[in-house]
Amino acid sequence: MSELSPCRIASPRFYIAAHQDHNRVLDVYGENTTDGTRVVTWPMKKDQRALNQLWYIGPQGYIRSALTGFLLDAHPNGRIKLLFLIVQSPSQI
């Protein structure tokens, strides 16, 4: 079971997406800022302000990276990537 934990150090709006049974979190692979970058699970960094491990949950339910501002996008092949999208209405998510 996964959970979203508020990151008290960085900002009350950003979260660390962590698995409760181990110390792995959602992570922007290699701190890459390129559109289409993979998102992986990675050990949580000691510095909880690491932008590549912080996420914002928007009012329409999207999840945005604190590092790039890009949105999470799930592909049919099971990979999760970051995409640059402008969200204006729920129909665009």
Fold of 2-87: Trefoil (Acidic Fibroblast Growth Factor, subunit A) (2.80.10)
Residues 6 or more apart from 2 whose CB is under 8 A from it? 17, 18, 19, 20
- The H or E element containing residue 5 is strand 2-6
3-state class of 63 per DSSP? Answer: strand
Q: What is the pLDDT of residues 2-54, one digit of tens each?
A: 444 444 444 447 778 777 777 789 999 999 999 889 999 999 888 878 899 99
Residues 6 or more apart from 74 whose CB is under 8 A from it? 80
Q: What is the pLDDT of residues 69-90, one digit of tens each?
A: 899 988 888 788 888 766 554 4
